[in-house]
Amino acid sequence: MKFKDWEPHYTKILDYFGFEREGDEKAAVLSSELTDRDDINLLKKLCEGSTVTVCGNAPCLDPDIKKIKGKVLAADAASERLYKAGILPDAIFTDLDGCDESFIEMNDKGTIIVVHAHGDNIFLLKNWIPRFKGPLVITTQSEPFSNVHNYGGFTDGDRAAFTADEFGAEEIIFAGFDLDDRSVNPMKRGKLMIARDLLSEIGYEI
Protein backbone atom coordinates (compact mmCIF):
# COMPACT_ATOMS: atom_id res chain seq x y z
CA MET A 1 0.00 0.00 0.00
CA LYS A 2 1.30 3.45 -0.93
CA PHE A 3 1.49 6.09 1.79
CA LYS A 4 -1.19 8.26 0.17
CA ASP A 5 -3.58 5.31 0.53
CA TRP A 6 -2.33 4.41 4.01
CA GLU A 7 -2.44 7.90 5.53
CA PRO A 8 -6.25 8.04 6.04
CA HIS A 9 -6.06 4.76 7.99
CA TYR A 10 -3.10 6.08 9.96
CA THR A 11 -4.96 9.27 10.89
CA LYS A 12 -7.90 7.20 12.19
CA ILE A 13 -5.53 5.06 14.27
CA LEU A 14 -3.91 8.15 15.79
CA ASP A 15 -7.33 9.52 16.72
CA TYR A 16 -8.63 6.20 18.07
CA PHE A 17 -5.69 5.55 20.40
CA GLY A 18 -4.67 9.13 21.10
CA PHE A 19 -1.20 8.58 19.65
CA GLU A 20 0.90 11.53 18.48
CA ARG A 21 2.21 11.60 14.93
CA GLU A 22 5.21 13.67 16.06
CA GLY A 23 6.40 10.80 18.25
CA ASP A 24 6.26 8.36 15.34
CA GLU A 25 8.16 10.79 13.13
CA LYS A 26 10.82 11.35 15.80
CA ALA A 27 11.30 7.58 16.18
CA ALA A 28 11.60 7.15 12.41
CA VAL A 29 14.30 9.83 12.16
CA LEU A 30 16.18 8.31 15.10
CA SER A 31 16.10 4.86 13.50
CA SER A 32 17.48 6.24 10.26
CA GLU A 33 20.29 7.85 12.21
CA LEU A 34 21.07 4.62 14.07
CA THR A 35 21.78 2.70 10.86
CA ASP A 36 22.42 3.41 7.21
CA ARG A 37 21.59 -0.18 6.27
CA ASP A 38 18.58 -0.95 4.12
CA ASP A 39 17.96 -4.50 2.91
CA ILE A 40 14.53 -3.78 1.45
CA ASN A 41 15.50 -5.44 -1.85
CA LEU A 42 16.18 -8.70 0.00
CA LEU A 43 12.71 -8.49 1.54
CA LYS A 44 11.14 -7.78 -1.85
CA LYS A 45 12.97 -10.71 -3.45
CA LEU A 46 11.84 -12.94 -0.58
CA CYS A 47 8.15 -12.17 -1.13
CA GLU A 48 7.88 -11.64 -4.87
CA GLY A 49 6.02 -14.49 -6.55
CA SER A 50 6.26 -16.64 -3.42
CA THR A 51 3.87 -18.43 -1.13
CA VAL A 52 4.25 -16.61 2.18
CA THR A 53 3.05 -17.67 5.62
CA VAL A 54 2.54 -14.85 8.11
CA CYS A 55 2.79 -16.20 11.65
CA GLY A 56 1.16 -14.43 14.58
CA ASN A 57 1.81 -15.16 18.24
CA ALA A 58 -1.64 -16.36 19.31
CA PRO A 59 -1.85 -19.65 21.25
CA CYS A 60 -3.12 -21.35 18.09
CA LEU A 61 0.31 -20.97 16.46
CA ASP A 62 1.42 -24.38 17.80
CA PRO A 63 -1.31 -26.40 16.02
CA ASP A 64 -1.13 -24.04 13.04
CA ILE A 65 2.53 -24.85 12.41
CA LYS A 66 1.36 -27.65 10.10
CA LYS A 67 -0.20 -24.97 7.85
CA ILE A 68 3.12 -23.23 7.19
CA LYS A 69 4.30 -23.22 3.58
CA GLY A 70 6.81 -21.22 1.61
CA LYS A 71 8.54 -18.20 3.08
CA VAL A 72 7.92 -17.49 6.76
CA LEU A 73 7.26 -13.98 8.04
CA ALA A 74 6.99 -13.97 11.84
CA ALA A 75 5.34 -11.33 13.99
CA ASP A 76 7.66 -10.43 16.84
CA ALA A 77 7.70 -13.08 19.61
CA ALA A 78 6.13 -15.69 17.30
CA SER A 79 9.62 -15.98 15.83
CA GLU A 80 11.05 -17.45 19.04
CA ARG A 81 8.31 -20.08 19.19
CA LEU A 82 8.99 -21.02 15.57
CA TYR A 83 12.73 -21.12 16.19
CA LYS A 84 12.29 -23.46 19.15
CA ALA A 85 10.18 -25.67 16.89
CA GLY A 86 13.04 -25.86 14.39
CA ILE A 87 11.78 -23.23 11.94
CA LEU A 88 14.07 -20.30 11.13
CA PRO A 89 11.86 -17.39 10.00
CA ASP A 90 12.85 -15.72 6.76
CA ALA A 91 11.87 -12.35 8.25
CA ILE A 92 10.72 -11.02 11.61
CA PHE A 93 8.45 -7.99 11.80
CA THR A 94 8.89 -6.40 15.21
CA ASP A 95 8.46 -3.21 17.18
CA LEU A 96 10.98 -4.85 19.55
CA ASP A 97 8.68 -5.31 22.55
CA GLY A 98 9.13 -9.08 22.23
CA CYS A 99 12.78 -8.92 21.21
CA ASP A 100 15.41 -11.02 22.97
CA GLU A 101 18.83 -12.52 22.26
CA SER A 102 17.31 -15.15 19.95
CA PHE A 103 16.57 -12.35 17.46
CA ILE A 104 20.29 -11.61 17.25
CA GLU A 105 21.01 -15.29 16.68
CA MET A 106 18.37 -15.61 13.96
CA ASN A 107 19.57 -12.40 12.30
CA ASP A 108 23.13 -13.75 12.25
CA LYS A 109 21.75 -16.82 10.44
CA GLY A 110 20.17 -14.66 7.74
CA THR A 111 16.71 -13.75 9.06
CA ILE A 112 15.72 -10.26 7.90
CA ILE A 113 14.79 -8.12 10.91
CA VAL A 114 12.10 -5.58 9.99
CA VAL A 115 12.18 -3.07 12.85
CA HIS A 116 9.16 -0.83 13.27
CA ALA A 117 9.78 2.61 14.78
CA HIS A 118 6.98 4.35 16.67
CA GLY A 119 6.69 6.92 19.40
CA ASP A 120 6.59 4.41 22.26
CA ASN A 121 9.67 2.32 21.50
CA ILE A 122 12.51 4.83 21.23
CA PHE A 123 14.48 3.23 24.08
CA LEU A 124 14.20 -0.19 22.42
CA LEU A 125 15.31 1.23 19.07
CA LYS A 126 18.45 2.66 20.67
CA ASN A 127 19.17 -0.62 22.42
CA TRP A 128 18.59 -3.11 19.62
CA ILE A 129 19.17 -1.56 16.19
CA PRO A 130 22.97 -1.22 16.60
CA ARG A 131 23.17 -4.88 17.62
CA PHE A 132 21.71 -6.32 14.41
CA LYS A 133 24.56 -7.20 12.05
CA GLY A 134 22.56 -9.25 9.55
CA PRO A 135 19.84 -8.11 7.12
CA LEU A 136 17.87 -5.12 8.44
CA VAL A 137 14.89 -3.03 7.29
CA ILE A 138 13.35 -0.05 9.13
CA THR A 139 9.65 0.81 8.90
CA THR A 140 7.40 3.56 10.18
CA GLN A 141 3.67 4.27 10.52
CA SER A 142 4.24 7.83 9.35
CA GLU A 143 5.57 9.11 6.03
CA PRO A 144 8.47 7.04 4.68
CA PHE A 145 11.80 8.54 3.65
CA SER A 146 15.32 7.47 2.75
CA ASN A 147 15.96 4.07 4.39
CA VAL A 148 12.67 4.08 6.36
CA HIS A 149 9.69 2.35 4.68
CA ASN A 150 5.93 2.12 5.06
CA TYR A 151 3.74 -0.34 3.15
CA GLY A 152 0.75 -0.13 5.49
CA GLY A 153 -0.45 -2.20 8.42
CA PHE A 154 -0.52 -1.51 12.14
CA THR A 155 0.38 -4.56 14.25
CA ASP A 156 3.46 -6.68 13.55
CA GLY A 157 1.36 -9.37 11.88
CA ASP A 158 -0.71 -7.26 9.55
CA ARG A 159 2.36 -5.15 8.61
CA ALA A 160 3.98 -8.39 7.46
CA ALA A 161 0.91 -9.22 5.38
CA PHE A 162 0.76 -5.73 3.86
CA THR A 163 4.44 -5.94 2.93
CA ALA A 164 4.06 -9.38 1.34
CA ASP A 165 1.06 -8.09 -0.61
CA GLU A 166 2.91 -4.96 -1.74
CA PHE A 167 5.85 -7.04 -2.94
CA GLY A 168 3.74 -9.40 -5.02
CA ALA A 169 3.45 -12.57 -2.96
CA GLU A 170 1.55 -15.17 -4.96
CA GLU A 171 -0.27 -16.49 -1.87
CA ILE A 172 -0.47 -15.38 1.76
CA ILE A 173 -1.30 -17.94 4.45
CA PHE A 174 -2.03 -16.96 8.05
CA ALA A 175 -0.96 -19.07 11.04
CA GLY A 176 -1.19 -18.20 14.73
CA PHE A 177 -3.78 -15.44 14.28
CA ASP A 178 -6.71 -15.05 16.69
CA LEU A 179 -8.29 -11.68 16.08
CA ASP A 180 -11.24 -12.61 18.33
CA ASP A 181 -9.11 -13.18 21.44
CA ARG A 182 -11.11 -11.79 24.39
CA SER A 183 -8.45 -12.61 26.98
CA VAL A 184 -6.26 -9.65 25.98
CA ASN A 185 -6.43 -6.15 27.47
CA PRO A 186 -8.65 -3.47 25.88
CA MET A 187 -5.71 -1.80 24.10
CA LYS A 188 -4.70 -5.08 22.48
CA ARG A 189 -8.32 -5.89 21.65
CA GLY A 190 -8.59 -2.56 19.82
CA LYS A 191 -5.41 -3.34 17.88
CA LEU A 192 -6.78 -6.74 16.85
CA MET A 193 -10.01 -5.11 15.67
CA ILE A 194 -8.05 -2.63 13.55
CA ALA A 195 -5.82 -5.41 12.20
CA ARG A 196 -8.91 -7.27 10.98
CA ASP A 197 -10.31 -4.17 9.30
CA LEU A 198 -6.99 -3.39 7.65
CA LEU A 199 -6.46 -6.92 6.35
CA SER A 200 -9.90 -6.79 4.73
CA GLU A 201 -8.64 -3.75 2.78
CA ILE A 202 -6.21 -6.02 0.93
CA GLY A 203 -8.66 -8.88 0.54
CA TYR A 204 -8.07 -11.10 3.58
CA GLU A 205 -10.85 -12.09 5.98
CA ILE A 206 -9.51 -13.67 9.17
Domain ranges of the chain: 3-201
Distances from the Cα of 11 to the Cα of 21, 115, 117, 141, angstroms: 9, 21, 17, 10
Average pLDDT over residues 84-106: 97
What is the b/e burial string over 87-99, where b = at least 16 CB atoms within 10 angstroms of the residue's CB?
bebbbbbbbbebb
Q: What single letter denotes the amino acid at residue 58?
A: A
Whole-number percent of the chain with pLDDT over 70? 100
Question: Over the stretch 163-192, which tens digit does the pLDDT of each residue have?
Answer: 999 999 999 999 999 988 777 788 888 988
pLDDT at 187: 85
Q: Return the number of other C-beta atoms located less than 10 Å from residue 85's C-beta.
A: 11
pLDDT at 206: 78
Question: Is residue 50's pLDDT more than 80?
Answer: yes
pLDDT at 66: 96
148-149 and 91-94 as β-strands: parallel, antiparallel, unpaired? Answer: unpaired
pLDDT-derived band of residue 57, with 50, 70 and 90 as boundaries?
very high
- Rounded to whole angstroms, how far apart are CA atoms 46 and 62? 24
- Are 61 and 174 a contacting pair, CB within 8 Å? no
Q: What single letter denotes the amino acid at residue 174?
A: F
The pTM score is 0.96
Rg of the chain over all Cα atoms, to the nearest angstrom: 16
pLDDT-derived band of residue 151, with 50, 70 and 90 as boundaries?
very high
